[in-house]
Amino acid sequence: MEILIRDIPEEGAQVAAKLFKKILSTRPQPVIGLATGGTPLRLYRELIRMHQSGELSFKDCTSFNLDEYVGLPPEDERSYHHYMRSNLFDQVDIDPSRIHLPDGCAGDLRQACRDYEEKIKEFGGIDLQVLGIGANGHIGFNEPTGSLASRTWVKILSEQTIKDNAIYFDDPEEVPRHVVTMGIATVMETRHCLLLANGAKKADAVRRMIEGPVSASCPASILQMHKRVTIVLDEEAAYLLTFKDHYKWVEGNKLDWQKYD
Ligand code: PGA
């Protein structure tokens, strides 16, 4: 795992955006996996800025999002379809026909999940997958103790995640209990994962992900087995890491071609 620690989240978003740009520039038709939630917002703002200044184009990109709530239609402002339009897609030059998100309102959800997996394969797999991490160690909406071999499927949110996400709803009772999410095996097949985490609230999950045993009780810990993962943390999210100084040492000794900034 490549661990990059920055003083503040803004600096993390900048290095993450540079990595994003590096991957986009090395592929003629990049396939990107995107995440929602509070964490990637700074990264998306930086990508929009790069796009506006002519440094970055999404016109040849295809995108797949990690997850969506069951029962929220794309026009619902709490849906992840809406989040992606307002926080990224409407402000860059991505071709709308190449945007994919799980359909939480499909008549046959199980078939929609299988079709989503097929679509990812059809485009040759995901080059770069953006991830956040839940305070309970989830990635996507793959909650603790779920299968580490899972595929895109309908999942039930944990009570903690419902509480954490209630800030986006008027009433916690309105948070859907069901979601469609890429599975852990789907994420493990992506060619590069870029996971961002900020704040002390994530520090324990971050420690378990990087330095704990690989275990379904912290789904993100499976990323230890992924061939290419970059984890960008702010100091607060990194504060429980035993080998923090080592990660900084490694970054300080990178060769030029291994650096993003
Ligand atoms: P957050 O969520 O970015 O809103 O903290 C991350 C996640 O649950 O994966």
The model's pLDDT over 56-87, given as tens digits with 9 standing for 90+, comes to: 999 999 999 999 999 999 999 999 999 999 99
Ligand 1 pocket test, pick from 67, 133, 175, 198 with the greatest ligand atom count within 8 Å of Cβ, gives 133
Residue 84 near ligand 1, beta carbon < 6 Å: no
The answer to whether residue 87 is catalytic is no
Q: What is the pLDDT at residue 192?
A: 97
Give the distance (Å) from ligand 1 centre to CA of residue 12.
16
What pLDDT does 106 receive?
A: 96
* Percent of the chain topping pLDDT 90: 98
* Spacing, Cα 257 to ligand 1 middle (Å): 31
> What is the pTM assigned to this prediction?
0.96
Instruction: Give the closest residue to 88 by CA, choosing from 96, 139, 126.
Output: 96
Gyration radius from the chain CA atoms: 17
What stretches of the chain show up as alpha helix (H) in DSSP? 9-25, 41-52, 80-87, 109-122, 159-165, 184-188, 203-211, 235-238, 244-252
Q: Is 245 a catalytic residue?
A: no
- Residues of the chain where predicted confidence (pLDDT) is lower than 50: none
- The residue to mutate among 159, 164, 196, having the most atoms of ligand 1 within 8 angstroms of its beta carbon, is 164
Q: Is the CB of 134 under 6 A from ligand 1?
A: yes
Neighbours of 67 (CB within 10 A): 21
Q: Establish whether residue 38 lines the binding site of ligand 1, counting it when its CB lies within 6 angstroms of any ligand atom.
A: yes
Establish whether 136 is a catalytic residue: yes
Residue with tokens 């339009």: 85
Question: According to the model, what pLDDT value does residue 13 have?
Answer: 98
Q: How far is the CA of 199 from the centre of ligand 1 (A)?
A: 11
- Beta-sheet pairing, 99-100 with 178-181: unpaired
CA gap 48, 86 in Å, rounded = 11
Bridge partners, residue 231, by sequence: 3, 195
Tokens 């970054």 label which residue? 251
Predicted pLDDT at 261: 79
